[in-house]
Amino acid sequence: MDGITFDHVGIAVESLEKALAFYQGVLGLKLEETEVVAGQGVKVAKLHTGKTTIELLEPLGPDSPVAKFIEKRGEGIHHICFEVPDALAVVAKGKEKGFDPVSEGLKPGASGRQVAFLNPKSTFKVMIELSQGPADAGKKK
Ligand code: CO
C-alpha cells in the first residue's frame, strides 16, 4: 500500500516508572513525552530510538483495555503501529477479507492522531494500530 510506514511498538507495562528505569536508565533511550490518552485508558511514554518510537503504556485503572491485556497475558508487546494515509480505508479492506477491527470508526490516539485497531484474533495474535492524522502530528522535529 502506498504511504504506509512503520511507526511504533506499543508495550504494556504495569508501571511507567519501573519500565523507564530500564528503557531510559539502561538502554539510554530519550523520553520524548508522556501523555494521558483518556479515551484509551492509558498513560503513554514515548521514547525515541533513532528511526522509530517505543510507546510504553501504563493502564489508568482496572477498566483500561491495557489493564485487561496485562491481566490476561502479562506485560509485553501490546501492538505495533503503522502510519497510513487513510486508516478507515484499510479497516474496510480488512473487513472485506475477514480481518476485524476492535471497534468501529476512528478514536483519538496519542499526539492528536486518529487511530483504529485490528483485532489480534484475526491478525495473527498481533494487535495492529493504524494511525492517521495531520502530516506533522506526532512527528519528530
Ligand atoms: Co500505539
Q: What is the pLDDT of residues 60-70, one digit of tens each?
A: 999 999 999 99
Distance 102 CA to ligand 1 centre (A): 14
CA geometry: angle 68, 73, 74, nearest 5 deg: 90
pTM of structure: 0.89
CATH numbers and ranges of domains, the chain: 5-132 (3.10.180.10)
Distance 10 CA to ligand 1 centre (A): 5
According to DSSP H, which parts of 1-124 are helical?
16-23, 65-73, 87-96
Distance 96 CA to ligand 1 centre (A): 24
Which residue, among 34, 52, 41, has the nearest Cα to 107 in the 3D structure? 41
Mean pLDDT of 35-40: 94
Distance 131 CA to ligand 1 centre (A): 8
The Cα 71–Cα 113 span in angstroms is 27
Of the listed ranges 3-7, 57-61, 136-140, the least confidently predicted one is 136-140
Share of the chain above pLDDT 90, in %: 85
